[in-house]
């Protein structure tokens, strides 16, 4: 059984319109590579028409729809009365969602060749998309005359009449179909739905009663009756029919889902959850059905019927019943991620990958957790393995590169980035990220020219990348080159991000290097006031600026504060020892 059965008591009537034309949509109209009898063409024109028509079909098959439209347009210039060229043009416009043009062309094709059922079917599809249900139903009325034994045409007519709110005519069409095909769930449910829309609930009940009488041991029919009573507000009879299902089919697992819905609607969530647990414990229901229900309930936490504790209980039932189904590892991991238990979540994904390494989605989630945990060695090892399995997945190279950078494997990071760029050409965001990593790796290797060029490349791809602008400006200031450009970059960054302490610090440092110490002091104090008060680098910079402004005592206090935080430049201790500012390339 599959998930479609999950709410099968209510879902039998859903998607009737969707299945009405399924078969017709997948069939292909015969290609009439001929010109219209009404148009007299020369032999050369006939040959040109045939050549162009075949070429048009070729372009259509290749997906070159614009070329195909142009070619079929030329066909219609040669023979303005060619129904088959109109048909092909109409279907192309339909594919391009130009329903007006599609309708005009297909209407004309049907007028030229009224016996061609494919033209009519395509026109009906266009009408249905345009919500011209009555016109679409009329086409199927015509098709029923052409092929009176075609029950699909009659079914489509009935569905479309219902959509056009011609309920009596739709019922009549369903009755005609039933006379030919016999009693069926699909027809009875469709009629039930129409009777309800007509305000005739007694007739709706009668339709479901006919199904029950035809097969009193079919639990599905009692479920339909229970839901019908429930929709009419008759809770007592609804529960009576749900219990009837348990009486005739006690092993039926789906009824527990239906009962859960019933109790949920009544606001009795305790009983509802008890029914859900019975459904999850049922041996009749397969794992897919239960997993899909679980996924629906956890897709959005604020829309779930159940608490986190209840969700965990359902998950435990699943895990107990299907211990060898590795999907349970992925589900458990997702549950743990929601609780921010990242290490435990990664362990479960690792168990999944121990049994099946073929899912890129699982690998990606697994690697992202290591990235979030900043477990760089594990991210490096695992992303290297993932690249071997999925060498065309460019994003893996970005994760591999960032882990290599964090592990100070700078030359290797550059090799990884170069390989990743070959796969990331069409992904601008990824190319930007790789270029940033390239800049960082080159700078760490003291390849300053290459690093600065990489940041130029980033800003060509993404002129509003503030992180890249910030880093670029900072490196220019540290190197003491092109300080005017550095100030322009950092100024733009802080204008757009006036409360970011890192960006404010960079701007302060650029101004420091330009010897504008008073303005530098303003920006470094802004950085400290906006969350940077515990950052040793920012505090050390503050001390440097104060020193240059002549406040040596305060500068010494700030340097000592930075030292107490346990992180600063390599010359911080020397500054304190010698009570003076000392320039460092690390700043």
The rounded distance, in Å, linking the Cα atoms of 315 and 184 is 38
Residue predicted with more confidence, 207 or 10: 207
Q: What angle do CA 262, 241, 258 make, to 5 degrees?
A: 30
For the domain spanning 464-578, the CATH number is: 1.25.40.10
Check residue 25 and give its pLDDT. Answer: 34
Check residue 76 and give its pLDDT. Answer: 94
Which pLDDT tens digit goes with each residue over 446-461? 999 999 999 999 999 9
The average pLDDT across 566-585 equals 87
Of 291-305, 439-453, 473-487, 562-576, the poorest mean pLDDT is in 291-305
Q: What is the mean pLDDT of the chain?
A: 88
pLDDT score of 34 more than 60: no
Check residue 178 and give its pLDDT. Answer: 93
Give the residue extent of every domain in the chain: 464-578
Q: At what angle do helices 517-527 and 501-513 cross, to 10 degrees?
A: 170
Are 139 and 118 in contact by the 8 Å Cβ rule? The answer is: no
pTM (2 d.p.) = 0.62
The rounded distance, in Å, linking the Cα atoms of 67 and 77 is 16
Check residue 567 and give its pLDDT. Answer: 78
308: Cβ–Cβ under 8 A, 6 or more apart, which residues? Answer: 339
- Residue by residue, DSSP assigns 485-502 as HHHHHHHHHHHH-TT-HH
The rounded distance, in Å, linking the Cα atoms of 381 and 107 is 63
Which pLDDT tens digit goes with each residue over 192-236? 999 999 999 999 999 999 999 999 988 889 889 988 998 888 888
pLDDT score of 66 more than 80: yes
Q: How confident is the model at residue 256 (pLDDT cuts 50, 70, 90)?
A: confident
57: Cβ–Cβ under 8 A, 6 or more apart, which residues? Answer: 31, 68, 88
The average pLDDT across 241-265 equals 85
Of 51-60, 111-120, 463-472, 567-576, the poorest mean pLDDT is in 567-576
Check residue 39 and give its pLDDT. Answer: 72
The rounded distance, in Å, linking the Cα atoms of 253 and 376 is 47
pLDDT > 70: percent of the chain: 93
pLDDT score of 35 more than 70: no
Residue predicted with more confidence, 525 or 257: 525
């Amino acid at each position: 059984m599959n998930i479609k059965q999950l709410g099968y008591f209510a879902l039998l009537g859903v998607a009737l319109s969707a299945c009405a034309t399924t078969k017709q949509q997948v069939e292909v109209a015969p290609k009439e590579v001929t010109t219209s009898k009404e148009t007299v063409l020369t032999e050369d024109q006939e040959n040109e028409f045939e050549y162009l028509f075949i070429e048009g079909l070729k372009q259509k098959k290749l997906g070159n729809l614009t070329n195909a439209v142009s070619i079929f347009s030329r066909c219609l210039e040669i023979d303005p009365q060619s129904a088959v060229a109109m048909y092909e043009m109409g279907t192309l416009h339909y594919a391009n969602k130009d329903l007006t043009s599609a309708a005009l062309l297909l209407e004309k094709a049907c007028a030229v060749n009224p016996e061609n059922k494919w033209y009519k079917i395509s026109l009906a599809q266009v009408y249905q998309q345009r919500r011209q249900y009555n016109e679409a139903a009329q086409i199927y009325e015509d098709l029923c005359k052409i092929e009176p034994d075609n029950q699909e045409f009659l079914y489509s007519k009935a569905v479309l009449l219902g959509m056009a709110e011609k309920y009596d005519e739709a019922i009549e069409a369903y009755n005609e179909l039933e006379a030919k095909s016999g009693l069926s769930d699909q027809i009875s449910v469709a009629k039930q739905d129409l009777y309800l829309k007509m305000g005739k609930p007694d007739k709706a009940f009668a339709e479901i009663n006919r199904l029950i009488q035809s097969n009193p041991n079919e639990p599905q029919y009692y479920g339909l009756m229970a839901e019908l009573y429930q929709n009419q507000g008759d809770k007592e009879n609804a529960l009576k029919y749900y219990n009837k299902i348990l009486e005739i089919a006690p092993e039926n697992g789906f009824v527990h889902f239906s009962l859960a819905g019933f109790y949920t609607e009544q606001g009795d969530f305790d009983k509802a959850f008890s029914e859900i647990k019975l459904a999850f414990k049922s041996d009749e229901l397969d794992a897919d059905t239960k997993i899909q229900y679980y996924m629906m309930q956890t897709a959005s936490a604020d829309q779930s019927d159940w608490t986190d504790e209840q969700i965990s209980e359902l998950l435990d039932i699943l895990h107990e019943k299907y211990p060898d189904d590795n999907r349970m590892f992925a589900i458990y991991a997702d549950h743990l991620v929601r609780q921010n238990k990242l290490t435990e979540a990664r362990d479960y994904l690792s168990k999944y990958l121990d049994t099946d390494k073929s899912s890129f989605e699982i690998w990606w989630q697994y690697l992202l957790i290591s990235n979030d945990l900043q477990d760089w060695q594990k991210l490096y090892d695992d992303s290297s393995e993932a690249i071997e399995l999925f060498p065309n997945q460019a994003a893996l190279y970005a994760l591999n590169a960032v882990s290599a950078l964090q592990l100070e494997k700078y030359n290797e990071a550059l090799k990884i980035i170069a390989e990743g760029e070959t796969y990331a050409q069409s992904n601008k965001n990824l190319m930007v990220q790789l270029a940033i990593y390239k800049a960082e790796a080159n700078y760490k290797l003291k390849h300053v020219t290459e690093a600065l060029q990489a940041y130029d490349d980033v800003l060509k791809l993404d002129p509003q990348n503030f992180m890249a602008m910030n880093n670029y400006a900072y490196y220019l200031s540290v190197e003491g080159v092109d300080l005017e450009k550095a100030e322009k970059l950092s100024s733009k960054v802080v204008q757009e991000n006036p409360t970011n302490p890192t960006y404010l610090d960079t701007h302060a440092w650029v101004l420091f290097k330009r010897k504008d110490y008073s303005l530098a002091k303003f920006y470094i104090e802004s950085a400290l006031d906006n969350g940077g008060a515990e950052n040793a680098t920012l505090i050390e910079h503050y001390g440097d600026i104060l020193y240059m402004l002549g406040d040596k005592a305060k500068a010494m206090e700030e340097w000592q504060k930075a030292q107490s935080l346990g992180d600063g430049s390599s010359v911080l201790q020397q500054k304190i020892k010698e009570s003076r500012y000392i320039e460092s390339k690390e700043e």
